Amino acid sequence: MKKTTQFKNLLQSSGLEFILEAHNGMSARIAEEAGFKGIWGSGLSLSAQFGVRDNNEASWTQVLEMLEFMSDATTIPILLDGDTGYGNFNNMQRLVHKLEQRDIAAVCIEDKLFPKTNSFIKGDAQPLADIDEFCGKIKAGKDAQRDDDFSIVARVEAFIAGWGLQEALRRAAAYHEAGADAILIHSALSVPDEVLAFKREWGDRCPVVIVPTKYYATPTDVFREHGFSICIWANQMMRAAIGAMQQTAKSLLEDENLLSVEDRIVPVSEVFRLQGAAELQEAEKRYLPKSAQGVRAIVLAASRGTELGELTETKPKAMVEIGGTPLLSHITTAYNAVGIKKITVVRGFGKQMMDLPGPDYVDNDEFADTGELFSLQTALAKLDDEQDTIISYGDVLFNKYIPQALSEEKDEFVIAVDTNWRESVNRHRLADYVRCSHPNSRQAFGSRIVLERIGADLPEGAIHGEWMGFLKVGRTALPLLREMLEEILATPEGRRAKMPVLLNELVSRGRPVRVIYTTGHWLDIDSLDDVVQAGSF
């Protein structure tokens, strides 16, 4: 169906319809994906995205160029906020021609003088256009259109200018007689009294459109009951975008890194998708980090987590809810965000409750008498040696950049180390501290830093950081890992061994374990306080 016909149907619908403001191709596509049947090409928002005032400071040709991108990006109709028509009747005719060429369905013009000023800036001081002159502009636009379904909406500013109901009705009647397909009645009050009074008097002579920016608290059913045709959400997309950009800009300035914002902004792949790239898969191969595409993860989640008391009486620690979502779900989501889709989870205590869709599961039914290395061996028994593997715990929340950074390293063995280790000491909890070949410093920048020892008993003067529970093993090193696990687990004490035993054994055998230093952006759930803190992670 033609876009002009779609919009005409919205005007003539028996129920209340809604259209959403957009100001560029991206926001227009988002509006359509959200389910809106039409788009409002807001003069305020189009001006704002150019960084100029809503006073016709952006030329009509600049507006037209942006509209073309919006039209190309969508299949739903666009109603342009055409201000005063950008001039006299002659400008109006040329505008209609150019809008039709770009598949724009309709234009709304307001009865003020060119150049216009936004209605919410001292509206009562703004002069209105001569009625006859404005009617001539409407007639010129209707005569110029080639598509019979192209619509012209006449916007009445009498209430904005303080001229009252009778003047609003008089102008609306004249504009309707001149050929306007609909009337947009505007008000700056915080209550809908003016527009409701207008609709009661106007009746059903032609469709009536409203913009409840100021009287936003009014229940939508009130508009339905009074028989309005279209309700325009007129500037919320732009205002929401401004708030998000301000917050992001402030964080980047204060933190001087991307770590604080990456987890709350969309990935680049979502930008590609909204751009409508037919070659999306090829684009992901080109732009997403190549290393993450060939990486899998093993999550060790067999333990109950008795330290959490009643929370883990019947369900495993990895299924404790953080912000209403199981901890394991947070973990898999973070891996998925960097392209790591193949995830194997080792279950144990309460395994029947660990059934989230997505990961593969293997069971350590001897979880009560075995340790982390036994669980790791159980997982590897189900896997081949064709992919690099990141091993992590089922009780650690983390930002996605951590597995991303690990996957990009080429070394056979790589761990992530938090330099903010003193926080663990202050919390009086056990932690896996590490001593490395170099402490984190400017002098060490560019140096290849490797692990020297890991343990909870390191003297404070020898501590360079805290191991975060991540070990990346390159696929060429997986046979060695299997061999070492077999040897360690052959002893009774080895069956209960934890991951640090493996790391120290690697060091003792002269196998370098590469260290990536970072600071914060992870949280291991060791106590009820951690559960509370994790809610805002």
Sequence ranges of the domains in the chain: 3-242, 257-286, 289-534
**The pLDDT value given to residue 443:** 74
Check if 54 is active-site: yes
Residue 272 CA to residue 281 CA, distance in Å, equals 10
| Spatial contact of 184 and 210, defined as CB atoms under 8 Å apart | yes
| DSSP 8-state symbol, 113 | P
Which of 127-136, 238-247, 445-454, 480-489 shows the lowest per-residue confidence on average (mean pLDDT)?
445-454
Residues in a beta bridge with 514: 414, 450
Query: In 23-126, which ranges are E strands?
Result: 39-41, 78-81, 106-110
Residue 393: strand pairing partners = 300
Supply the angle between the helices 164-178 and 131-144 in degrees, to the nearest 10.
30
- Determine which helix (DSSP H) or strand (DSSP E) holds 165, and give its type and residue range: helix 164-178
pLDDT higher than threshold 60 for residue 329? yes
Mean pLDDT of the chain: 91
- What pLDDT sits at residue 537? 54
**Mean pLDDT to the nearest integer, 49-73:** 93
CB-based contact 364:348 (threshold 8 Å): yes
pLDDT at site 323: 86
> Is pLDDT larger for residue 316 or for residue 536?
316
Calpha distance 406→267 (Å, rounded): 18
Q: Are 315 and 350 in contact (CB under 8 A)?
A: yes
pLDDT value, residue 116: 63
- Token readout for 289 is 């980090």
pLDDT category at 424 given cuts 50, 70, 90 is low
Segment 420-445 mean pLDDT = 78
Evaluate whether 107 touches 141 at the Cβ level (below 8 Å). Answer: yes
Angle in degrees, 0-180, between the axes of helices 25-34 and 236-255, rounded to the nearest 10: 120
How is domain 3-242 classified at the CATH fold level?
A: TIM Barrel (3.20.20)
Longest dimension (CA), the chain: 99
- Using the structure block, give the residue that is written with the tokens 């009625």: 131
Considering the entire predicted model, what is its pTM? 0.62
pLDDT of residue 210: 98
- Residue 93, φ and ψ in degrees, nearest 5: -65, -45
- Tokens standing for 227? 């028989």
Residues 6+ apart with CB under 8 A from 12: 207, 229
Residue 63's pLDDT band (cuts 50, 70, 90): very high
The answer on pLDDT for 213 being more than 70 is yes
- Asked whether residue 117 carries a pLDDT value surpassing 70, the answer given is no
Segment 379-408, tens digit of pLDDT? 999 999 999 999 999 999 999 999 999 999
CATH assignment of 289-534? 3.90.550.10
Q: What is the pLDDT of residue 237?
A: 96
The b/e string for 29-65 (b: 16+ C-beta within 10 A; e otherwise) is: bbbbeeebbbbbbbbbbbbbbeeeebebebebeebbe
Which candidate, 183, 176, 181, places its Cα nearest to that of 210?
183
Determine the average pLDDT of the residues in 474-501: 96
pLDDT of 291 strictly over 50: no
Q: Enumerate residues 6+ apart whose C-beta is below 8 A from 410.
A: 474
Structural contact between residues 107 and 96, judged by C-beta atoms closer than 8 angstroms: yes
Whether 446 has a pLDDT exceeding 90, the answer reads: no
Q: For residue 205, which phi and psi values (nearest 5 degrees)?
A: -65, -35
Q: Please pick, among 54, 149, 181, 388, the residue that the annotation labels catalytic.
A: 54
What value does the mean pLDDT take over residues 308-337? 90
